Structure 1
Amino acid sequence: MGDLQCSARVFVARHGAADYESELLSDAGGWLSPLGRRQSHDLADHVHRERVARVWTSDLSRAVQTGEIVAARTGVDVTVRTGLREFGVGDAAGTTGDPDPFAPTFAAWLGGDLSARIPGGESGLEVVARYEAVLEEVADAHRGESVLVVSHGGVMSMVLPRLARNLAPDHTRDLPLPNCGVVALEADADGWVARSWAGRPLA
């Protein structure tokens, strides 16, 4: 991040509930279910009070659709970045996901081992690097402003505690993010601070 004279307030939200063409694991985007659309409208009402300057989303359709609903309510533009997408499923593509093929790697990430890699996919280091790069871009572009970032539950739960200096890496072990759950961050010259996690205030 650049030398931020004014803090950027970044609200990172998980996308709304989604439906998928297949129950098998893939990196496909899915689309918002009726419930997901209602959740996205509720999210729009929430962030409208924050006077967000822009909505940034991952390139997966369930996130883009969530962001577009919010942007329509708030009257701002949408910017898409691939770096905000969920971690890839790798060799698990086309499987049922039972048992959870990501559990060992995700547990290693939460335990601090970012060299662990999803078989056939990304390492924790790679996920953090591409996600952090986008958040730094967002913070530099919105000094003194509020902005909404729409992303995905897994990558948010892994990366955001690594970036926020007031959170432990395993902060989310027992705090899964609901659809359209929001993490409020502030960015300043010293880095990131989490102000709330899914409605829970943080010191």
Structure 2
Amino acid sequence: MSDLQCPARVFVARHGEAVYESELLSDAGGWLSPLGREQARELAQSLRGERIARVWTSDMARAVQTGEIVASVLGVDVVVRKALREFGVGDAAGTNGVPDPFAATFASWLDGDLTARIPGAESGTEVVERFEAVLAELADDHRGEGVLVVSHGGVMCMALSALARNLDMSHSRELPMPHCGVVAMDADVDGWVARSWAGSPLEAR
């Protein structure tokens, strides 16, 4: 991020509840359920007082649909960035996900080992770097404004914990992100600070 005289206020939200074409693991697919659409409308209402200037979403349909519902309510436009998507499933693509093929790698990430890699996909470092690049871009574009980012639960839990200086990497271990749960982030010259996590206030460090 460049020097931020008027820092951006960034709200990172998980997409609404989704349904999928198949029970097999994939890096594509998924669309909002009726409940997911209602969750997106509730998210929009909760942000009415935050002067949201734009919605940024991952390119996955469930995130884009969530972002479009919120943007329609708030009267703003939507920007799509592939780098905001969930971490890839790698070699687990086409499997039923039992046992969980990501559990060991994700646990290593939360223990602070970002060199750990999803087999056939990204390391934790690569996930954080791509996510951080988009947050830096939007922080520069929206100085003094509010912006909503719609992303995914796994990448939010690990990347935001890695980026916020007042969070430990293990912060989300017992705090999974609910659908349309929000992490409020402030950007300043020293990086990122998380102000709240899924509705619970956080102390700055």
- Same fold by TM-score greater than 0.5: yes
| Aligned pairs, number | 203
Quote the Cα distance in structure 2 between the aligned partners of 1:81 and 1:29: 16
Q: Does 1:134 align with 2:134?
A: yes
Deviation at 1:29, TM superposition (A): 2.9
Quote the Cα distance in structure 1 between the aligned partners of 2:173 and 2:118: 18
Structure 2 partner of 1:120: 120
Once the two structures are superposed, residues 116-140 of structure 1 have per-residue CA deviations (whole angstroms, 9 ceiling, x without a partner) of 1000111111101100000000101
Deviation at 1:51, TM superposition (A): 1.3
Structure 2 partner of 1:84: 84
Match runs of 1:1-203 below 5 Å: 1-203=1-203
Quote the Cα distance in structure 1 between the aligned partners of 2:128 and 2:194: 16
Quote the Cα distance in structure 1 between the aligned partners of 2:29 and 2:95: 16
Secondary structure of the equivalent of 2:79?
Answer: strand
Give RMSD over aligned pairs: 0.5
TM-score by length of 1: 0.99
Which portions of structure 1, spanning 4 or more consecutive aligned residues, are displaced by more than 4 angstroms? none
AA at the equivalent of 1:181: G
Once the two structures are superposed, residues 73-106 of structure 1 have per-residue CA deviations (whole angstroms, 9 ceiling, x without a partner) of 0000100000000000000011111110000000
Once the two structures are superposed, residues 154-177 of structure 1 have per-residue CA deviations (whole angstroms, 9 ceiling, x without a partner) of 000010010000000110000000
AA at the equivalent of 2:58: S
Quote the Cα distance in structure 2 between the aligned partners of 1:171 and 1:142: 27
AA at the equivalent of 2:55: V
AA at the equivalent of 1:83: A
Contact 2:21 2:29 in 1 (8 A): no
AA at the equivalent of 2:14: R
TM-score by length of 2: 0.98
AA at the equivalent of 2:110: L
Quote the Cα distance in structure 1 between the aligned partners of 2:142 and 2:156: 20
Question: Could you list the runs of 5+ residues in structure 2 that have no partner in the other structure?
Answer: none
Quote the Cα distance in structure 2 between the aligned partners of 1:102 and 1:45: 34
Deviation at 1:48, TM superposition (A): 1.6
Once the two structures are superposed, residues 167-193 of structure 1 have per-residue CA deviations (whole angstroms, 9 ceiling, x without a partner) of 001100000000000000000111100
Secondary structure of the equivalent of 1:54?
Answer: strand
Secondary structure of the equivalent of 1:113?
Answer: coil
